[in-house]
Amino acid sequence: MGLKQENNGWNPYIAGALTGLLLVFSVWFTGKYVGASTTFVRSAGFIEMLFSPERFAAIEYFKKEIPKIDWQFLFVVGIFFGALIASTTSNSFRLQAVPPMWERRFGTGKSKRAIVSFIGGAIAMFGARLADG
Amino acid sequence: MSDLIYGLATGIIFGFLLQKGRVIRYDKQMGALRLTDMTIVKFMLTTIIVAMVGVYLLKDLGLAKLSIKSTILGGNIIGGLIFGIGWGLLGYCPGTQMCALGEGRWDAIWGILGMLVGAGIFAEFYPALKNSVLQWGDYGKITIPQILGVNHWIIIILFIVIGLLTFRWFEKKGL
């Protein structure tokens, strides 16, 4: 293990440059700039709309960011499939609930990782929205 | 409809490249935050440099419009600090956790659920934030070349030079 783990990734400068080109083509052909966090707002809005329509209707922010399936929503879904394709075709897909660096420091407990991830995600998204990123 | 297909296609290529660049794993993201592995910084800076040159070329040729977000110091600085705390706990950001899930690192699910909740909480607080933090230091849609009153290519070239020097330093240090 450890040292024998696969690391046949691409050079980060090359992968980064290709990603830059992708962004340029996106702006050129469709006028779309990439982003992800608005999709989480819209999805949260969707969920509230389903479970608590009165509450949903009372929230101003969901009038600003109206829940809808748009370019960015599909972009975010696409990211998942892109990584799935890249990893399964290169033998780097691993079902893993606790990352190696976390495990070395905090142990193999899945629930500890889950709780911290959940809280971290909530804080990160709050901050991202505040910064409008 | 074609918008949605373009979105999906762009996302697939984006996720593919991020996975290939090995920039989405918890260990890589933490490596950057702990200043021990600069892989994701190399990737991001290269992406920014290429996209910056390309998008400004398109703009100068009249083929694209810039999409500038407002600079609101209160929101940007406080939001950035809060985001950093969350990122350090989770080890993924909004886009990369989708990627991490795609390569089987399913702890990303907890991050995704947390982010949905975080978005809901922000929506609850938005009216209060809108009248406070989000008014502190609101400079509107400004850009660096505009503030300095210089041609944007001067800033772009400067940015590229700083980027390349940073890369050289990373490689020298073996980061």
A108 and A79 in a common domain: no
Q: Do A123 and A84 belong together in one domain?
A: no
Q: Cβ–Cβ of B50/A133 closer than 8 Å?
A: no
Contact A12 B39 (CB under 8 A): yes
- Residues A91-112, mean pLDDT to the nearest whole number: 96
Same domain for A110 and A128, yes or no, is yes
Whether residue A2 lies inside any domain: the answer is no
Find the closest chain B residue to A116 by CA distance: B89
Interface A-B, measured as beta-carbon pairs within 8 A, has a size of 382
Q: Are A106 and A113 in contact (CB under 8 A)?
A: yes
Give pTM, 2 decimals: 0.94
B71 in contact with chain A, both atoms CB, cutoff 8 A: no
User: Left if phi > 0, otherwise alpha if psi is -120 to 50, otherwise beta: which for B70?
Assistant: beta
The helix/strand/coil state of B64 is coil
Give residue A7's pLDDT. Answer: 65
Same domain, A82 and A107: no
Do A81 and A107 lie in one domain? The reply is no
Query: Quick check: is A86 in a domain?
Result: yes
| pLDDT above 80: residue B124 | yes
Total number of domains constituting chain A? 2
Residues A79 and A102 grouped into a single domain: no
Using 50, 70 and 90 to split pLDDT, how confident is the model at A5? very low
Task: Note whether A90 and A31 are same-domain residues.
Answer: yes
Interchain CB distance below 8 Å, B116 and A47: yes
For residue B104, give the nearest of A71, A77, A96 by CB distance: A96
Same domain, A133 and A79: no
Query: What domain range includes position B145?
Result: 2-173
- Please, which residues have CB within 8 angstroms of residue B152's CB and are 6 or more apart in sequence? B56, B143, B145
Nearest to A16 among B9, B43, B121 (CB): B43
Domain count, chain B: 1
In this predicted structure, the answer to whether residue A4 has a pLDDT above a threshold of 60 is no
pLDDT tens readout for residues A36-50: 999 999 999 999 999
Q: Please check whether residue B69 touches A, CB under 8 A.
A: yes
CB B17 to CB A19 under 8 A?
Answer: yes
Query: Looking at A5-14, A40-49, B71-80, which range is the least confident one?
Result: A5-14
Distance of CA B6 to the CA centre of its chain: 21
Identify the H or E element spanning B140: strand B138-140
A59 and A122 together in one domain: no
Q: Which two tokens stand for residue B169?
A: 């330093």
From chain A, pick out residues whose CB is under 8 angstroms from the CB of B90. Answer: 116-117, 120-121, 124
CB-based contact, B82 to chain A, within 8 Å: yes
How far is A1 from chain B, CA to nearest CA, in Å? 16
CB contact under 8 A, B64 and A28: yes
| Set of chain B residues whose Cβ sits within 8 Å of the Cβ of A22 | 10, 13-14, 17
If asked whether residues A82 and A104 sit together in one domain, one would say no
A28 and A87 in a common domain: yes
Single-letter residue type at A131 = A
Mutation pick from B47, B59, B72 vs chain A, by most beta carbons of A within 10 Å, is: B47
Q: Which domain holds residue A65?
A: 7-94
The answer to whether residue A72 sits within a structural domain is: yes
Model pLDDT for residues B135-164, shown as the tens digit of each residue: 999 999 999 999 999 999 999 999 999 999
Which of B1, B6, B12 to substitute to test the interface with A, most A CBs within 10 Å? Answer: B12
Q: How far apart are CA B114 and CA B92, in angstroms?
A: 12
ipTM tops the 0.85 cut? yes
